Chains A and B, each alone.
Chain A
Amino acid sequence: EVQLVESGGGLIQPGGSLRLSCAASEVTVGSNDMGWVRQTPGKGLEWISIIYFKKPYYADNVKGRFTISRDSSQNTLILQMNSLRAEDTALYYCARLIKFKGFDMWGQGTMVTVSS
C-alpha cells in the first residue's frame, strides 16, 4: 500500500529541537519531490519546506531554523526543527509533490506542541 507515515512529534519547550521523520512505502523518497506542510489546529494549511529538484526550499518563517533532508537508506524524509517557538505548534504533514499536479499524497500528520 502506498503511504507516508510521519513520526517524531511531541511536546517540546520553546527553544528546543525536534526531528520529524516521514517513512514512505511504495514511494521512493529519493526519486520524488517531497515536502512538509503544517496546520495549526483550527487554521489553514501552511507550506514550510520541500526538496524540489534535489534542492531544499523553506518558507521565510522557518528558514535558518528548520532543515529538510532525506535518508535514502531508510526511504525517509526528515525535518530537523531547531529553536522552536510557540507559533510552530501545529500538525505536521509530509506530502509528495508531483510537478504538474501538486501534493498528491499526504501522510496522517504528527503533532508538535511547543510550550513551557
Chain B
Amino acid sequence: DIQMTQSPSSLSASVGDRVTITCRASQGISNYLAWYQQKPGRVPNLLIYAASTLQSGVPSRFSGGGSGTDFTLTISSLQPEDVATYYCQKYDSAPFTFGPGTKVDL
C-alpha cells in the first residue's frame, strides 16, 4: 500500500507569514491528492483537490502544488483563522490513506 507522510508535524508562525507544508506519497499518485483543514473541535473540511484546485469558498491565500509523489500546501499570508491541523490524502484508489497531519499554530 502507498504510504503518505507530511512535514513538518507541527509549526508555529506569525500572522502574515508564508507557510508551506509538504506531503509525500511512497509511490506516484498522479494528482489524486487532497488537502483538508480541521480546526479544533470541528469536522474536516476539503480545501484543495487534484493537488492544486481550490474547493469552492476557500480563500485564495491557500494554494497547492505538486504531482506524482511530492506535494505542497502553501498559505501565502497566515491568518488567525488558519490555526488548524492540515491533512493530505490520496484518493486515486483504495486504501484512501491520509497523511499524519501538520498542526499549524500562531
A positions within 8 Å CB-CB of B: 35, 37, 44-47, 50, 52, 57, 59-60, 93, 97-104, 106-109
CB-CB < 8 A to B99: which residues of A? 44
Is chain B's binding surface mostly helix, strand, loop or mixed? loop
Closest Cβ of chain A: how far from B5's Cβ, in Å? 12
Is chain A's binding surface mostly helix, strand, loop or mixed? strand
Are B98 and A100 interface neighbours, CB within 8 A? Answer: no
Closest Cβ of chain B: how far from A44's Cβ, in Å? 5
Kindly state whether residue B95 has any CB partner on chain A within 8 Å: yes
* Interface size classification for chain B: 20 to 34
CB-CB < 8 A to A47: which residues of B? 89, 95-98
Interface residues of B in 67-106 (CB under 8 A from A): 85, 87, 89, 91, 94-101
Are B43 and A107 interface neighbours, CB within 8 A? Answer: yes
Known contacts A44-B87, A45-B87, A108-B43: does B98 contact A102 (CB below 8 Å)? no
Kindly state whether residue B65 has any CB partner on chain A within 8 Å: no
Are A100 and B43 interface neighbours, CB within 8 A? Answer: no
Closest Cβ of chain A: how far from B43's Cβ, in Å? 5
